[in-house]
Structure 1
Amino acid sequence: MPQQPPSLAQAPLLPPAFLPPPEPVTAADGTRRFDGATYARTSGYRPRLLDLHRPAGDEVVPLVVWIHGGGWADGDRRYPPPTVPAELLFGSLVRAGLAVATIDYRHSLEAPFPAQLHDVRYLRHFADHLRLDPDRVGLWGESAGAHLAALAALAPATTPEGLDLEGREGVSGSAGSGRIRAVVDWYGPTELGAAADAFPAVLALPPVGNPVTALLGAESGSRPDLLRAASPLNHADHPAPPFLIIHGTADQVVPYAQSRLLADRLAQHGEVELVPVPGADHIFADASDVESLVTRSVDFLAGHLAARP
């Protein structure tokens, strides 16, 4: 007898918040790629997707989460900045024995801060299925993505004013700062008041306008609590995971001084290395050797994620 479909009363009206990972694509060398897994879903917004690249074999491996830039208003999990080939970035991590999850997050005109941070603080639901070690997780972001990586590693779950920075968009309670083992920050803004003032007007494209204002969903002066909460510098007064910060000294979008501020603050409580790239603009434009910066970043993450806690 054919099975009857569920009635409307029996069938869920919405899909679950987390969906099983898709079947992987396996390369000739045995490395696997899982494309388009839904890691978080909130009614009224597009599902947040990730792609996962992992080394060959079934050994449990560390995880690096790649967070793209784009002024919190643009960008795509699949594409690093145009100065860095995707195969160089993601392939180098996999060849170093690390899995890498590249994630999308809600942009500023979709939802104001802290929605983006909620989306980043997410990934342990698939850890067992994909043979990932939830206690060996590193974050690597560029520009706006580096800002979110630093916040995810440094900020508390709730601010003194009661603002929820942990969220329930992904795996609830999954990514508190104490479980992030290392952070690579490529030219991320760290003090958003100064960053908003420094942002070149020529790059403020409609309908976004100033990206910091768009991120906060209000003029920064009218929401000082949001401005404080969204600035990694304000959360760097306690022990933190090791940071590698790389920034071009001629950056015209996010001034190099932003990284110097964070590095000086982090140095009071833990391990941080600030690497200036002489003469390089944003996204390492005009840098003489971007490949060496990728190698340095991968080596840093591999070194800190290799050993089990």
Structure 2
Amino acid sequence: MADLVTPGELRQLIAAPHPDVAPLPRATEYADGVRALHGVPYADLDGARPLELDLWLPAPAGPAPLVLFVHGGAWRRGRRGDMGVRTREWTPGPFEQLAAAGLAVACVDYRLSGEATFPAPLDDLRSALRWLGLRTAELGVDSERTVVWGESAGGHLASMLALTHDEPRLAGAVIWYGPADLTTRREPFDPENPATPEALLLGGAPALVPELADAASPLKRVHADAPPFLVVHGEADSMVACSHGRELAEALRAAGAPVELRTVPGADHGWHGVDEAEVRRIFTDSLDFVRQRT
């Protein structure tokens, strides 16, 4: 006769292992010794979906520097493995290329604005860093050499993480066309409109929750001890005005923090409007920035 257990004990028995101790999935093998672990749980939230990451690993050669990649999608949608429309058809893909260059890459889920409001997605990125630090030995990564890289809404969250995360201090931040200010009217953004992506992120029109909008604006969080930033923004961006990138870089420079700004003539959001060679240059320059700081 099977051992009798209480309902509470049974729940514990049938629950999936906690992400801190769960076995890692089998790796998929790619060229040049690159491996990928897809769908690795990193956080188990009560009443919410488990949060997962994809981990791209270079050929074993000692602990690898780490890129924490944060996807875009107006904080409302998006997929962790998507670096943007202009990279979707690349073969090999952008994350495989980063791993082939010797970098580990963690592409992370975070709670979207239909699931939870700010600061939930930022908390999720911190949880991912905690999990990666906990399991560095078996993953073969050096979490103390981490650069955060984000595009669009992910660029906003990457900026926020770089400016507010202290332990361990990040090695750098790559920001592609990310919003830097959720408080000031800039076409097409209206801080009084309760239906904008920014308002949905905050849970209210920014003009009506000014303290929260300030707290969620990288431009308001700049300080002298910020890690090095690479800010890349299209000069013709019709969704997130180029002034976001320019003013973030100016504020970092004024505070005495290291920053490189590159504005791209003719580039709209997502690098629309420029040729493939220019998109490749932006990617390569961003890769070089990461390698120089790790």
Deviation of 1:93 (Å):
1.1
Provide the residue aligned with 1:68 in structure 2. 71
Q: Counterparts of 2:238 and 2:122 in 1: how far apart (Å)?
A: 25
Provide the residue aligned with 2:203 in structure 1. 217
Match of 2:48 among 45, 50, 67: 45
Three-state SS of the structure 2 residue aligned to 1:273 is: strand
Provide the residue aligned with 1:111 in structure 2. 116
Q: Counterparts of 2:23 and 2:218 in 1: how far apart (Å)?
A: 33
Provide the residue aligned with 1:10 in structure 2. 9
Q: Is the 8 A contact 2:223 2:257 kept in 1?
A: no
Q: Is the 8 A contact 1:83 1:290 kept in 2?
A: yes
Aligned residue pairs total 279
Deviation of 1:213 (Å):
0.4
Match of 1:33 among 4, 18, 36: 36
Give CA deviations for 1:160-209 in whole Å, capped at 9, x if unaligned: xxxxxxxxxxxxxxx536520011000101011226x53369xx9xxx93
Deviates more, 1:213-222 or 1:86-95: 86-95
Provide the residue aligned with 2:60 in structure 1. 57
Gapped regions of structure 1 (runs ≥ 5): 156-174
Which of 1 and 2 has higher RCO (CA within 8 Å, sep 6+)? Answer: 1
Q: Is the 8 A contact 1:49 1:104 kept in 2?
A: yes
**Aligned-pair RMSD on alpha carbons?**
2.2
Deviating runs (4+, > 6 A) in structure 1? none
Give CA deviations for 1:73-117 in whole Å, capped at 9, x if unaligned: 010012221112363421221122100010111000110000010
Letter in 1 for 2:9: Q
Deviates more, 1:8-17 or 1:101-110: 8-17
Match of 1:237 among 219, 223, 230: 223
Three-state SS of the structure 2 residue aligned to 1:128 is: helix
Higher helix residue share: 2
Does residue 192 (structure 1) correspond to residue 197 (structure 2)? The answer is: no
Q: Counterparts of 2:81 and 2:121 in 1: how far apart (Å)?
A: 17
Does residue 259 (structure 1) correspond to residue 245 (structure 2)? The answer is: yes
Q: Is the 8 A contact 2:183 2:210 kept in 1?
A: no
Three-state SS of the structure 2 residue aligned to 1:43 is: coil
Identity of aligned residues (%): 38
Q: Counterparts of 2:232 and 2:158 in 1: how far apart (Å)?
A: 14
Q: Is the 8 A contact 1:153 1:178 kept in 2?
A: no
Normalised TM-score (structure 2): 0.88
Q: Counterparts of 2:267 and 2:224 in 1: how far apart (Å)?
A: 31
Deviation of 1:130 (Å):
0.1
Match of 2:106 among 81, 101, 104: 101
Deviation of 1:28 (Å):
4.7
Three-state SS of the structure 1 residue aligned to 2:233 is: strand
Three-state SS of the structure 2 residue aligned to 1:262 is: helix
Deviates more, 1:93-102 or 1:4-13: 4-13
Q: Counterparts of 2:5 and 2:265 in 1: how far apart (Å)?
A: 64
Q: Is the 8 A contact 1:192 1:231 kept in 2?
A: yes
Provide the residue aligned with 2:257 in structure 1. 270
Does residue 92 (structure 1) correspond to residue 75 (structure 2)? The answer is: no
Gapped regions of structure 2 (runs ≥ 5): none
Q: Counterparts of 2:168 and 2:40 in 1: how far apart (Å)?
A: 25
Does residue 293 (structure 1) correspond to residue 282 (structure 2)? The answer is: yes
Letter in 2 for 1:182: G
